[in-house]
């Protein structure tokens, strides 16, 4: 039973590699366009970037939530893939603006961790890390004993929990479901952006992960 329960979680997480490659293909150019818009001011660029991606997520949430409970089996997978691409692109752009290389495997792992949003702390602890000590992101390479299978399963469970909450919110009459979907996707995207800003501190400052 436990193995069966882990399969959908691993399936969701296994698609993140494809999503990462597609979402980040234009993330650098996107980030640089915001940097140019704000004359090199990194933090104002990030703030504008986050606001735009919250609006994108809200639009997707509204459209995919419009059908209410009757359309949920069709629209839910579409919402998950579309919104996660928006969120991964946002996280990657934040990481780039703060000086991180998107081709670095550790950076990719941190991007995936950011997707957990408010539950990132629980995810990190479940993987065997402590929170609160300021050490470098190189801690991820020291934590190589964590297999990708375990990481995917843990992350997948957190994403499934969020999907379950969203599915419950939109299973109502169409218009209310659309508004609930828009509000929830925008709110989750904002939470993810806050996590990304915490994890991807400007280079020279240390993120908060530590190996136990």
The per-residue pLDDT for range 114-164, each reduced to its tens digit, is: 988 878 777 777 777 665 544 334 444 444 445 566 777 777 777 777 666
Residue ranges in the chain whose pLDDT is less than 50: 1-5, 68-79, 133-145, 208-212
Predicted confidence at residue 17, as pLDDT, reads: 80
Q: 14-23 burial by CB neighbour count: b if 16+ within 10 A, else e?
A: eebeebbeeb
Distances, alpha carbon 14 to alpha carbons 20, 89, 152, 197, in Å: 11, 17, 7, 25
**Partners of 129 in the β-ladder:** 211
Are the C-beta atoms of residues 185 and 61 closer than 8 Å to each other? Answer: yes
Predicted confidence at residue 136, as pLDDT, reads: 38
pTM of the model as a whole? 0.78
Q: Which tokens belong to 181?
A: 């979907």
Are the C-beta atoms of residues 57 and 87 closer than 8 Å to each other? Answer: yes
User: What is the number of other CB atoms lying within 10 angstroms of the CB of residue 92?
Assistant: 27
Residues 152, 155, 158: CA angle, nearest 5 degrees: 145
Measured CA to CA, the distance from residue 157 to residue 143 in angstroms comes to: 20
Predicted confidence at residue 116, as pLDDT, reads: 86
Predicted confidence at residue 209, as pLDDT, reads: 45
Left (φ > 0), alpha (ψ -120 to 50) or beta: where does 147 sit?
A: beta
By the 10 Å C-beta count (0-12 exposed, 13-18 middle, 19+ buried), 108 is classed as buried
Predicted confidence at residue 158, as pLDDT, reads: 75
């Amino acid at each position: 039973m436990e193995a069966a329960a882990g399969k959908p979680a691993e399936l969701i997480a296994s698609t993140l590699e494809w999503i990462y490659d597609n979402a980040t293909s234009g993330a650098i150019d996107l980030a640089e366009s915001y940097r140019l818009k704000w004359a090199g001011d990194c933090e104002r660029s990030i703030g504008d970037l986050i606001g735009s991606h919250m609006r994108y997520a809200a639009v997707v949430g509204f459209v995919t939530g419009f059908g209410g409970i009757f359309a949920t089996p069709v629209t839910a997978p579409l919402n998950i893939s579309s919104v996660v691409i928006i969120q991964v692109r946002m996280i990657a752009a934040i990481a780039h603006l703060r000086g991180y290389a998107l081709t670095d495997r550790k950076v990719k792992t941190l991007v995936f961790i950011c997707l957990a949003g408010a539950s990132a702390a629980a995810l990190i602890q479940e993987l065997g890390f402590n929170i609160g000590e300021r050490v470098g992101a190189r801690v991820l390479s020291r934590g190589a004993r964590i297999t990708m299978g375990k990481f995917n399963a843990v992350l997948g469970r957190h994403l499934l929990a969020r999907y379950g909450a969203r599915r419950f919110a939109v299973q109502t009459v169409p218009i209310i479901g659309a508004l609930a979907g828009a509000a929830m996707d925008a709110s989750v995207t904002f939470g993810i952006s806050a996590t990304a800003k915490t994890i991807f501190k400007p280079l020279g400052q240390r993120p908060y992960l530590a190996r136990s």
